[in-house]
Structure 1
């Protein structure tokens, strides 16, 4: 995790992400690259900062209510996440909507994940201003949740940032640029009132998903092969996905299998 550094992103790179279906066109998302002389964000009042790595891992636009709800509950801004955190949330939404046929369940999410402070390199206590919130798997659920091992290092990701219009109809928390401050909600487990429902859903995941052979590779293959951005607002839920002509596909062109795995 890190302090701000000058961005490597220019408009040509953003257009390339649009061509790959990882970003909406500029007229939809209002993205822009920073000016070369700026080493830290200089946003307009209606903008937030996003990262290419987030969109490679399923962040769409406008963003899914579940992601925005987590950020507001945790007191976080978008830049406080890191790529693995976005991957965890995208995988959970895909599991719930595509494999269980339910909306993402917050109590269930808390049973599987918790947050902690991630200091910047060379620091030991306060959270980094970029990527300072680390989302972690709770280790005791390895036999219940699809298994995968995220990259230990996503070196350089924090240098690939750009500006994104904050949509008023589905806003991210406003950008202030401060370090994230640890909140008790980061470590909350499933509320007592939701434990029975969460326990029953876990049984379904274990018996009909994990024991049936679904692992993390299959989970994320499903997300990418269908060209759907899990962390976006859709016209229809993922359990109603209708194939190559689905209106929520980010891109209609089929991806070769090797590209999906990469």
Structure 2
């Protein structure tokens, strides 16, 4: 069953996003006046006069208007239009032109191209594509750069636009007029191989390509070539004033924009290749690009250097013997110096050994000292625990026994200070009661000593209370004018409670008078004015 040719059925309205437009601006492609024209709402390309159909993914892989003469020649020989080529095929051509101009120092030529590439139809047994219907591939027998092309470029057929083409007046120098439905016809040129004469003339170039691939430490890869022309900001597939071997850096007239930021360059390289986020993107080529001016200057400098070298050898032939003798004397001096240095090295080794021994002893002594300190701190901690009956746990230990033990002592010290503060507060409240006429001492030790005199304060208070009780009892007896049996005074059960309270109430205002009558001076303590019954 023959494959179905899709023809015009593949075309639909272009779906170029703002992100694509911003990328083309950043690359400088859309900044060239009238170089790029974006379609409006048409679902089938209708390029204006002087324009041809291309794709966003073609432009970011090195294509720009007006196109390079070598690409125009390929399209003429193969009988193709731009939309017939896949993005990977466009990248193959860009890398080939960059390789020839920047690393081989030659114009891209048809003979070298045939030795490396051929064309094949793109599609499946049942479907033959028109857009991207032709693939440029490396010949299986050729050892060429690993370009790391992606297996497929998603959605590229939907992002078409128009690029301007110059009219050269000759059919083979112009891009074929656009015809979206034109069938792709296979030509014998697709498989054309280099003739023996062409192989002979390009053998040196093929040898150089193998050297660029295999020179240890200076290997060149397809990714490096791709990153080079993206970093240089020169589109390989654009017709330029100068070849890349005359590239003048930032001042080059063919540059479309300033240098890309590293992150933008790496993102673009990964987009057009099969590299993932983990694969490194080369920051520079391991091989220095070819430069015609530098090459001529290097050859001239090499010739001059060789001439100067020969002249110097002629002039120095007479001095060779004297120099040899001088070198011998110098060698003997160096041998003597080496012996002296050897003795110095041995002395340094001994001193180093002594320093290491001293350091080891110091570390041992320091460890013993830290262990002794830790032991003492643990002992103090146990004493605090036995005195306060409290144990603490560190919320955030340092996992350092010495620092953690100090932290425990800090907790105990805080607890001791709080206990002293509480005791001082309690004694301060009791002080006016026991010593109404004294001023409270300023220090805690003096305050505590006040409550620990030679006499017994508790006994003194009991005596005072007993005195007050006796005084009150006497006052009551005197006021009642009754005969009291003192033997029965302690038997309070025989006293009528109501009458007892009334007597106390009646006697209270006259207590001092009664005591004065009996010649008793009331005590000045607060308890004497508030007798307890």
Same-fold call, TM > 0.5?
A: yes
Give the aligned partner of residue 155 of structure 2: 156
Give the aligned partner of residue 244 of structure 1: 250
Q: Among 212, 217, 229, which residue is 1:223 paired with?
A: 229
Residues 135 and 195 of structure 1: CA distance in aligned 2, closer, same or farther (over 3 Å): same
Residue 141 of structure 2 corresponds to residue 140 of structure 1: yes
Give the aligned partner of residue 98 of structure 1: 102
The farther-off stretch of 190-199 and 15-24 is 15-24
How many Å apart are 1:17 and its aligned residue?
Answer: 4.4
Q: Among 91, 95, 98, which residue is 1:87 paired with?
A: 91
How many Å apart are 1:166 and its aligned residue?
Answer: 2.6
Which protein is bigger by CA-based radius of gyration? 2
Residue 207 of structure 2 corresponds to residue 176 of structure 1: no
Output one character per residue of 1:36-88: Cα deviation in whole Å (capped at 9) or x when no partner.
2x222123343211100001000021100011100011000110011000000
TM-score by length of 1: 0.88
Q: RMSD over aligned Cα, in angstroms?
A: 2.2
Residue 117 of structure 2 corresponds to residue 113 of structure 1: yes
The 8 Å contact of residues 85 and 135 in structure 1, kept in 2 or not, is answered as yes
More helix by share: 2
Give the aligned partner of residue 210 of structure 2: 206
Give the aligned partner of residue 7 of structure 1: 14
How many Å apart are 1:219 and its aligned residue?
Answer: 0.9
The farther-off stretch of 239-248 and 167-176 is 167-176
The 8 Å contact of residues 223 and 230 in structure 1, kept in 2 or not, is answered as yes
Query: How far apart are the structure 1 equivalents of 2:147 and 2:24?
Result: 28
The farther-off stretch of 156-165 and 190-199 is 190-199
Output one character per residue of 1:217-260: Cα deviation in whole Å (capped at 9) or x when no partner.
11111111111101111111100111111111111x22223322
Output one character per residue of 1:98-157: Cα deviation in whole Å (capped at 9) or x when no partner.
0011000211111111101113x6834xx4220011111112222xx2222201010100
Query: How far apart are the structure 2 equivalents of 1:118 and 1:213?
Result: 32
How many Å apart are 1:28 and its aligned residue?
Answer: 3.5
In structure 1, stretches of 5+ residues that fail to align are none
How many Å apart are 1:210 and its aligned residue?
Answer: 4.2
Give the aligned partner of residue 195 of structure 2: 191
Residues 140 and 84 of structure 1: CA distance in aligned 2, closer, same or farther (over 3 Å): same
Give the aligned partner of residue 35 of structure 1: 40
Give the aligned partner of residue 165 of structure 2: 166
In structure 2, stretches of 5+ residues that fail to align are 268-533
The 8 Å contact of residues 7 and 34 in structure 1, kept in 2 or not, is answered as yes
Residues 205 and 122 of structure 1: CA distance in aligned 2, closer, same or farther (over 3 Å): closer
Where 2:135 maps in the other structure, the secondary structure is strand
Residues 100 and 210 of structure 1: CA distance in aligned 2, closer, same or farther (over 3 Å): farther
Residues 175 and 81 of structure 1: CA distance in aligned 2, closer, same or farther (over 3 Å): same
Give the aligned partner of residue 54 of structure 1: 58
Query: How far apart are the structure 2 equivalents of 1:231 and 1:24?
Result: 15
Give the aligned partner of residue 126 of structure 2: 123
The 8 Å contact of residues 65 and 165 in structure 2, kept in 1 or not, is answered as no
TM-score by length of 2: 0.45
Query: How far apart are the structure 1 equivalents of 2:174 and 2:162?
Result: 14
Residue 259 of structure 2 corresponds to residue 254 of structure 1: yes
Query: How far apart are the structure 1 equivalents of 2:83 and 2:131?
Result: 6
Query: How far apart are the structure 2 equivalents of 1:161 and 1:138?
Result: 30
How many Å apart are 1:14 and its aligned residue?
Answer: 6.9
Give the aligned partner of residue 25 of structure 1: 31
Output one character per residue of 1:158-214: Cα deviation in whole Å (capped at 9) or x when no partner.
100012233214632211221221111011111232110122210111124542300
Give the aligned partner of residue 456 of structure 2: none
Residues 256 and 44 of structure 1: CA distance in aligned 2, closer, same or farther (over 3 Å): closer
Query: How far apart are the structure 2 equivalents of 1:210 and 1:58?
Result: 26
Query: How far apart are the structure 2 equivalents of 1:146 and 1:51?
Result: 25
Q: Among 240, 246, 253, which residue is 1:234 paired with?
A: 240
* Count of aligned pairs: 253
The 8 Å contact of residues 111 and 189 in structure 1, kept in 2 or not, is answered as yes
